[in-house]
Amino acid sequence: MFERPKIITAETSLGCNMTYDTKDFYHNTQCYTIIFDKDHEKNTMAYLAILNSNVLWFFLTQTGNILRGGYFRFKTKYLETFPLPEITDETAKKLSSLTEQLLTTYMQLENTKSDSDKKFLVQRIKISESKINNEVYNLYNLNKDEISIIEESCKF
């Protein structure tokens, strides 16, 4: 089960911080793994975008149990009730591309020493995350008022 691409999330986290594993990592019980069936596996990167979006975080804060400091436990019982939308191939491609760009930028940030380069990359991350959130809002057919509520509640 672990020897395949998958989404991994820490059990306890401040916000959605899921990542994509292509190196067949094994982990302990402080993490959870999300593996999609054959029909949805090709869109794992797109689902990663949805699972890291403000929409999921808002959902979890409204339906789950928030710990001290705003942290959340990403247990199966809290995640399994989140409705994942059906996505078209076109939307999956767009979300996957944005997600891959974001992951690349995070890797660049991790390897950057220059403060000015770090500031630039952090700004690129914020822009990419905003684009992803906008795509996810569209998937759920959210209006401006609903988006405002979600974004206001997702500020850390």
* Global pTM value: 0.86
Q: Chain-wide mean pLDDT for the chain?
A: 88
45-40-2 Cα angle (round to 5):
70
- Residue 135: which of 43, 53, 48 has the closest Cα? 53
pLDDT at 126 over 90: yes
Q: Cβ-count burial of 109 within 10 angstroms (0-12 exposed, 13-18 middle, 19+ buried)?
A: middle
131-147 tens-digit pLDDT: 999 999 999 999 999 99
8-44 tens-digit pLDDT: 888 888 888 888 887 776 677 778 787 877 777 788 8
- For residue 20, list its beta bridge partners: 7
Percent of the chain with pLDDT over 70: 95
64-75 tens-digit pLDDT: 888 888 888 887
94-105 tens-digit pLDDT: 999 999 999 999
DSSP letter at 66? Answer: B
For residue 1, name the pLDDT band (cuts at 50, 70, 90): low
69-73-79 Cα angle (round to 5):
135
d(CA 66, CA 62): 9
What pLDDT does 67 receive? 86
130 sits in the region (left: phi over 0; alpha: psi -120 to 50; else beta) called alpha
Instruction: Report in angstroms the alpha-carbon separations of 70 from 57, 89, 120, 154.
Output: 11, 35, 28, 11
